[in-house]
A and B are shown apart, each in its own frame.
Chain A
Amino acid sequence: MLSARGLVRRFGDAVVLDGVDLDVLPGRMTGFVGANGAGKTTTMRILLGVLAPSAGEVRWDGRPVTAADRRDMGYMPEERGLYPKQRVAEQLVHLGRLHGLGTQEARASVGSLLERLDLAGRADDRLDSLSLGNQQRVQVAAALVHGPSALVLDEPFSGLDPLAVDAMAALLREEVARGVPVLFSSHQLDLVERLCDDVVVLAQGRRVAAGTVPELRARGGARTRLEVGPGAGGDVGDLGWLRDVAGVDVLDVDGPRALFTAAEPGADQRVLAEALRRGPVRAFAPDEPSLSEVFREVVR
């Protein structure tokens, strides 16, 4: 498990991280979300030791992380970059060896990785002769070449076309299946919701929410969505009366559609009965907020 406890980072007078706790559990995919400037990249750089924290510590399997531990991790920084003039396979072998692999081992790993990424034909081409999409794949390979003990990826999905997103997601799932803790940051919350087991939300250098995706979505309380249909007279209906029902918090009313929470037990059933008395009901269902809605809520 890769964790951080009480991370603080100051740049001059600016406090970029203000006591961030984080746990990336083995065999689980953790999404790291937050607005621009919330401190995600700084946190990830501290996790990998690229940046030193002003206070707090990074832990690996419950003890302070060492340089040797970090040598086994895989990292994809926000600012992508490899050696532009070096051949693809060669620089991946170099990085593998830096991660502690023997030359033969590194070659074998690079071979199979390029095969998996559909880049086997480009192994001996210079990196800068590849398309941007392919360069991004090589960048992923650079993080995976040594069979990392943990993966930290800063915006791995940015700039990818939908097919490449699927391929990247599949790759990350493979690593998770191997039992590796995977942390990635993204602004694509639908993607995070789809892929991640756990989510950590950062706002202005603080952790404002963390938990499994269902836990986060349940934060909004039990919401109910109601939609009434056109009545016999063809009138579309208006749920304005909802505001007068006791024990109900109305979140939103838009003509025949409304969203509300039952503030006391049974209030939702009273609403249903009243709605049916007034006309046809097209929908009456529990409604969970999407991750984006939760996100907007918690970072506000």
Chain B
Amino acid sequence: MSAPTTTSVPAPGPREGATGRRPGGRAAWRVVAEREVAVKLRDKVFVGSFLVLLVLAVAGVVLGAVLGGRTSTTQLAVVAGDERVAAVAAATGALLGPDDELEVVEAPDAGAAEALVAAGDADAALLAAPGGDGLELVGDQEVAGSLSTLVPVAAEGDALERSAAAAGTTPEELLSGAAVEERLLDPSEADPVATTLAPLVFGFLFYLVAIQFGMAIAQSVVEEKQSRVVEILAAVVPLRSLLLGKVVANGALALAQVAALAGVVLVGLAATGEGELLGAVGAPVLWFVVFFVLGFVALACVWAVAGSVATRTEDLQGTTTPLLVALLAAFYAGIFGSGWVLVVASYVPVASTVAMPTRLVAGEAAWWEPLVSAGLVLLAAVVLVRVGARLYERSLLRTDRRSSVRELLRERG
């Protein structure tokens, strides 16, 4: 090509040497991440669903406290003035659990007491047995389970006391040597409620949030591809910066959401006086957050690949299926797994996000186990991020058709 004659031209544009960064300019991945977050925070569906989750978490804690603290009252009808019946009734009340209460309703005579039961105003009537020296527990169609168990015990105790007095001794003396104590060979500190609930809570939280933000990554990738803006972006910043920005933004949002939910639950437990439960789940919850972050990062680039091999948003249903299946498997293994299945799951990357904290709550895992398992997730994350980033770079600019992963792996950089 011939050299033009006009050679003296001013230096182009306001620029800043070879750095490509001007004063005030930010690293490309941060600009990308900021946009992702800003777009999400303005998305009403996103904000709405987060608020719903938060409300559900608060409701769960409050409901748990209310249900746990509620006392149930049983009404027992007695004939006024029958001292023996009154004593047995009082003893029955003493035998009830801390959350149950016995209310003694006095009736003028046996007929009136039975009428109370028939009318549903009393759960049962305790009467002197007609034609005998025993007692009679009268129910309407059935006698409440706790009463039919506890009233005979109370009656026996009452009889024993009276017989002992008649024989000039005490019930304690008569029952000496009958005391039975319990001893556990392997006392577990685990709270049974926490052990049952933990896998469910961890499982759902991980499953919902991982899918929500994983999908968000895939969606954001395919949207840029579908709208073709990706070619401009690719010309401005390295694709890796684009990927990093998306992963960081969605990861941070996911973490913030999980932390907010976990925080609400922990603070809620403390506020409703479930301090004991808090002590049992505090450390596992923190581990859950650690595993969540690692597991999310491990899958983040795979989600990006699922987005980049699609050409339209509609394709995502197909391209994200393997991820959904993997998450579902991790979810089920954590929730329903027990014994060796749970142990294995607690070492399988991603599945360990649910399984390891679950084992920690149950007090089954030694102190070093979460460390080893976290190391495995970290390793998996490094591998998956590298492979994922490469596949993403290769498929992102193919806007003409869906790419197959095998084809992308074979292609040389």
Contact = CB atoms under 8 A, between A and B. Distances in A.
A105 B229 CA distance: 22
Contacts of A101: 22, 24-25
A44 to B, nearest CB: 9
Given A84-B227, A100-B25, A178-B10, A198 B4 contact: yes
A283 B277 CA distance: 105
A83 B235 contact: no
A49 B24 contact: no
Contacts of B16: 100
Interface stretch (A22-30, A270-278, A290-298): A22-30
Given A98-B31, A200-B1, A210-B1, A50 B231 contact: yes
A79 B227 CA distance: 9
A289 interface: no
Interface residues of A, number: 56
Contacts of A67: 20, 237-238
Nearest to B1: A210
B2 A211 contact: yes
B232 interface: yes
Contacts of B12: 26, 148-150, 178-181
Interface stretch (A70-78, A163-171, A251-259): A70-78
Contact of B231 (A79, A86, A179): A79
A150 B15 CA distance: 11
A68 B14 contact: no
B19 interface: yes
A269 interface: no
Interface string A187-205: 0000000000110100000
Contacts of A211: 1-2
A142 interface: yes
Contact of A105 (B24, B238, B399): B24
B24 A66 contact: no
Contacts of A71: 20, 28, 236-237
Contacts of B22: 100-102, 105
Interface string B31-70: 1100100010000000000000000000000000000000
B31 A77 contact: no
Given A95-B236, A103-B24, A81 B4 contact: no
Contact of A80 (B4, B20, B31, B228): B228
Interface string B224-245: 1001111111111110000000
Nearest to A71: B20
Nearest to A27: B9
A51 interface: yes
A180 B12 CA distance: 5
21 contacts: A48-B234, A49-B235, A50-B231, A50-B235, A68-B18, A68-B20, A77-B228, A80-B228, A84-B227, A97-B31, A98-B236, A100-B16, A100-B21, A101-B25, A102-B22, A105-B24, A148-B13, A149-B13, A179-B9, A180-B13, A197-B4
Given A69-B20, A105-B22, 14 more contacts: A68-B21, A70-B20, A75-B232, A75-B236, A77-B228, A77-B235, A83-B224, A83-B229, A84-B227, A149-B13, A149-B15, A210-B1, A211-B1, A212-B4
Nearest 6 interchain pairs by C-beta: A102-B24, A81-B228, A68-B20, A27-B9, A100-B25, A48-B235
